């Protein structure tokens, strides 16, 4: 009986282990996104607006900008590519 409980608790113990330390500047910047003041301000609104697509887009944009600012501060260029469209409004709503 004790073996069954031990096996049942094993996945929960594994899930509670701390994450590995970041080894690259990109990973360190991605780990620090939730401590950015702009991201924190949006996360405070989460209980009221969590399912709102506009809020989710704003949160994703704030996290992206936080990572890019961190990489720039570390002396690294952010990833290249096309700038994403923020809050594009089409006939069916915000995307």
Is residue 59 in some structural domain? yes
Domain total of the chain: 1
The DSSP letter of residue 95 is -
| Residue 34 forms part of a structural domain | yes
In which domain, by residue range, is 58 found?
30-44+51-75+90-95
- Decide if 1 is inside a domain: no
The DSSP code for 3 is H
Give the pLDDT confidence of 29-77 residue by residue, as tens digits. Answer: 888 888 899 999 988 887 776 677 888 888 888 999 999 889 888 888 7
Question: Is 36 within a domain?
Answer: yes
Q: Which of 78, 19, 68 is nearest to 39 (CA)?
A: 68
Residue whose entry in the numeric block shows the structure tokens 């996104």: 33
| Bridge partner list, 90 | 93
Check residue 2 and give its pLDDT: 63
Q: Tell me the pairing of strands 93-94 and 89-90.
A: antiparallel
Length of the chain: 95
């Amino acid at each position: 009986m004790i073996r069954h409980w031990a096996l049942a608790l094993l996945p929960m113990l594994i899930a509670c282990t701390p994450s590995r330390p970041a080894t690259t500047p990109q990973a360190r910047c991605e780990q620090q996104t939730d401590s950015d003041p702009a991201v924190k301000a949006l996360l405070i609104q989460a209980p009221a607006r969590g399912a709102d697509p506009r809020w989710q887009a704003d949160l994703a944009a704030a996290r992206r900008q936080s990572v890019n600012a961190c990489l720039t501060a570390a002396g690294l260029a952010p990833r290249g590519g096309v700038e994403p469209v923020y809050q594009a409004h089409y006939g069916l709503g915000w995307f």
